[in-house]
């Protein structure tokens, strides 16, 4: 089976050949379809999706990728059936409890973007503990997007700058792209280099809209539970063949 969608842009060999992306983000899509193909409940697909998270987080570390951001739960996912949302929260709890010691041991920094404080208090406390325990680590960064929506992130950043301007502590004329980026959830991360979406869908679904301005986009046919280290390596190889001009020649 082809690993990449026919809609993926034609490769261009140029200055970027062989370059490793510093920051990769993935829209993890296709858990439900993976389960449906096997006549299994959707929960089985989400459970296998968690296994893919483990697999890809380890593969990214082994490859030397500095930051990996995974879209785990969007602000729109609340529209799903309550039972499915509950299943997803349960899997998140298990992932943190089962994998936190490994992240600490492997010097991984766990970070969370999005308004995860809307979750149940025990889950919020679990996330806070995990982030605090890995905060002193100096190795690769694993970012989980939870209750995240890029439009809300951008609106919140604009609101904070407006409040400072209204208070007289900020001259609106000095606001530029760098200042705006300092208000985003990703302010301490490397610039986004490569954004991958699995399952053949070709849209960003309100994910890292500002950050993706000059990222390379890749749309993959592979359903997320089947995404593995070889698929990630193929994506990185394609990234290395892209010519990134950033508006220049």
Q: Is 74 labelled as part of a ligand binding site?
A: yes
With residues binned 3-state (H G I as helix, E B as strand, rest as coil), the percentages for the chain, rounded to 5, are 50, 15, 40
160 assigned binding-site residue: no
Pairing of strands 67-74, 194-197: unpaired
**Residue 78 is assigned to a ligand binding site:** yes
203 labeled binding residue: yes
Question: Do the annotations mark residue 75 as ligand-binding?
Answer: yes
16 is in an annotated binding site: no
Say whether 93 counts as a known binding-site residue.
no
Q: Which of 29, 99, 193, 221 is catalytic?
A: 29
- Our answer to whether residue 115 is catalytic in this structure is no
Q: Is 31 annotated as a binding residue?
A: yes
Rg of the chain taking only CA atoms, in angstroms:
19
The full DSSP string for 103-117 is HHHTTPEEEEES-GG
Q: Is 33 annotated as ligand-binding?
A: yes
Active site residue 147: no
Within 10 A of 30 (CB to CB), how many other CB atoms are there? Answer: 26
CA 40 centroid distance within chain: 26
In angstroms, rounded to a whole number, what is the distance separating the alpha carbons of residues 180 and 160?
A: 10
Alpha-carbon distances, residue 21 vs 4, 192, 196 (angstroms)? 18, 8, 12
Question: Is 88 one of the annotated binding-site residues?
Answer: no
- Structure tokens that stand for 206 in this block: 């309100």
Asked if residue 149 lies in contact with residue 74, where contact means CB atoms within 8 angstroms, the answer is yes
Q: Which of 77, 137, 206, 226 is catalytic?
A: 77
Q: Consult the annotation and say whether 199 binds a ligand.
A: no
Using an 8 Å Cβ cutoff, are 58 and 139 in contact? no
Consult the annotation and say whether 34 binds a ligand.
Answer: yes
The residues annotated as belonging to the active site are: 29, 77
- Which parts are annotated binding residues? 29-34, 42, 46, 74-76, 78, 80, 197, 203-205, 216
- Which parts are annotated binding residues for Mg(2+)? 29, 216
- Which parts are annotated binding residues for substrate? 30-34, 42, 46, 74-76, 78, 80, 197, 203-205
């Amino acid at each position: 089976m082809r690993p990449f969608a026919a809609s993926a842009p034609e490769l261009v060999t140029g200055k970027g050949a062989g370059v490793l992306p510093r920051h990769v983000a993935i829209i993890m899509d296709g858990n439900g379809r993976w389960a449906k193909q096997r006549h299994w409940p959707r929960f089985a697909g989400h459970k296998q999706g968690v296994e893919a998270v483990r697999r890809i987080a380890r593969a990214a570390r082994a490859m030397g990728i500095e930051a990996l951001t995974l879209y785990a739960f969007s602000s729109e996912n609340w529209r799903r059936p309550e039972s499915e949302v509950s299943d997803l929260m349960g899997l998140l709890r298990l992932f943190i409890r089962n994998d936190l010691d490994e992240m600490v041991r492997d010097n991984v920094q766990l970070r969370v973007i999005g308004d995860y404080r809307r979750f149940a208090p025990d889950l919020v406390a679990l996330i806070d503990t995990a982030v605090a325990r890995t905060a002193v680590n100096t190795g690769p960064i694993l970012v989980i997007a939870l209750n995240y929506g890029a439009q809300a992130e951008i609106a919140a950043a604009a609101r904070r700058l407006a409040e400072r301007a209204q208070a007289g502590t900020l001259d609106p004329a000095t606001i530029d792209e760098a200042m705006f980026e300092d208000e985003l959830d990703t302010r301490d991360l490397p610039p986004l280099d490569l954004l991958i979406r699995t399952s053949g869908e070709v849209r960003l679904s309100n994910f890292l809209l500002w950050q993706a301005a000059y990222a390379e986009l890749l749309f993959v046919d592979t359903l997320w539970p089947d995404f593995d280290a070889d698929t990630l390596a193929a994506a990185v190889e394609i990234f290395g063949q892209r010519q990134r001009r950033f508006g220049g020649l």
